[in-house]
Structure 1
Amino acid sequence: MTGKDKETVTTKKVTVTTSDNVSSSSEESSSEEESNDRFNDPATDLPADYWQIQKLVKYLKAGNQTATVIALCALRDHPIDQEVCQLALRDVGGLEVLLNILETNDVRCKIGSLKVLKVISSHPEVRRSIASLGGLETLVTLFSSPSNQLKALASETIANVAQFRWARRIVRKSGGVPKLVDLLDVDKTILMEPMEKLTTKQREKLEVALGGALALWSLAKARKVKECIRQAGGITLLARLLQSVHTELLISVMGIIQMCASEESYRLAIREEGMTRNLLDHLHKDNIKLQIHCAYAIFQARQSRTLIDSLSR
């Protein structure tokens, strides 16, 4: 790394206010207490991966550009989807280092860091730590990057972290919602062509749209976010995405509609944008997950008399 980049990969010190902590759900709080009890107990027999990860984080802190890439690759060779490894990264200050790497100018290091963050943010305690360290604001800035891979990974990480109210508020106040809506703007050719016929560049664009949809699905639990999506022109884009042949994308889009259909403005839009027929078509697709979310979306929109009449024809 350059001298500037070395300075960036330092430990951040961020104080979390009591009011922010109160926003967490009781379910997350109980799981965090259980994790703390287990891993702070000196009698706990920790596996070798725990100590290996701590060594790798030391290399991340002190390494140059090449050493950083190697250390990030080595991290991914460990079972970082397991709780003990996720908490090992947190305990030794690895989260701060990974987030600071996102502020450097090296795209390879950023991608490597995001690939780790995307996996470990599945742990409730880790994602709260990411939010408290200012990680969400940093992730939002990555949407300005020309790299499609960076944008896709950043949005998928936000989708994991935004599982609690405080995180959703941070993303909204950071201006992340309109930027995520922009990621849904995909050419119709990409939406209609099967995956095997897409070029590498088109597949990247599809991955970006999928990441954006996943993030908005998590964020759309908040009423203010639903309004932000509407104001950013998200309804028209959702209507276009409903015509896609890509099932994974359809499931995420249906999840957003499922969340937003509780609002009257969205129920009217479902009718005005011609989404009714798409909802009915997808309800008969041979994919259980898609059918479930489609059914929930129709259920949420049940207050619209026009929609119900349309579906019953």
Structure 2
Amino acid sequence: MSVVFTFPGQGSQEPHMLRSMPRHPVIAGTLQEASDLLGEDLLLRDTEDALRSTVAVQVALLVSGVAAARALQAEGARADWAAGHSVGAFGAAVIAGSLDFPAALTLVKLRGELMENAFRQGYGMGVVLGIPQQKLENIVARTFSREEPVYLANYNAPDQIVVAGSVQGIERVLATARQEGARKAERLQVSVPSHCRLLEPVAAKLADALKQVPFRKPAIPYASNRTGRTLLDPEAIREDLALGVSHPVRWHEAASLLVERGARLFIEMPPGRVLTNLAKTAFPSIRSVSAADSGLKTCCILANRFKAND
């Protein structure tokens, strides 16, 4: 039975997420490595105020995910696939063995800066739960305007979809969704309209930066959250990391494919449990755990147990 390491995206961040990570020499070493590469103490950059910055959030998510996955590997836990949600794709590429951590750190910092500078105000994201995809697509189509655009951005589950665009457009979509039976429809604490065509200029600049970075064939398959497919071609992974910022996240498709191919244990890297909860709801027959909740030791025991039953 196969194991997947999953890496969460923006929205999972928590104040003090780095300094509250488990005490482990590999985690401490990764935090120090990242601080040295960036020329700043990252433990001073995960406060509530600091995490209002898209750059700080994305860097912290990359570092926490890679640090935890490295610690699990050091303790003998092995994954058969790596999958990341949004910026978590960079952590997945590192742990899959396709991208070096220093390069990923530089790229994620640039990604955050480009996204933050592209839209200073008036844009964001919102989440809708409890209505079918087709119904929400119709609401967005009726609501869309050039002046106040809104797009479908994250297909997290059949009845959990995120929209992105102008704040006014999002608010109209959320209000209509509530009127038409949504269980929940609210704005997210995100100031950038991620995963829609508004970020095509960001994707182009990111692609230029990615061209300067070497990629290798991964040791384990990398699951694309953009296409919902697994990738082994280094150039395909390079392209995926560039285009992911301006294309919808098809997380449910990617997770469904992995389950179809035999994945039976999903281990989510810190922080949070967003991906864990999605998997528990969508795939009740598999095991899904959060390293932040269960701890490294329990995750290692589970990973080894599932691997022993292959």
Larger RCO, structure (CA 8 Å, separation 6 or more): 2
- Which is helix-richer, 1 or 2? 1
TM-score bucket of the superposed structures, by smaller chain: under 0.3
- Which is strand-richer, 1 or 2? 2
* TM-score, normalised by the number of residues in structure 2: 0.24
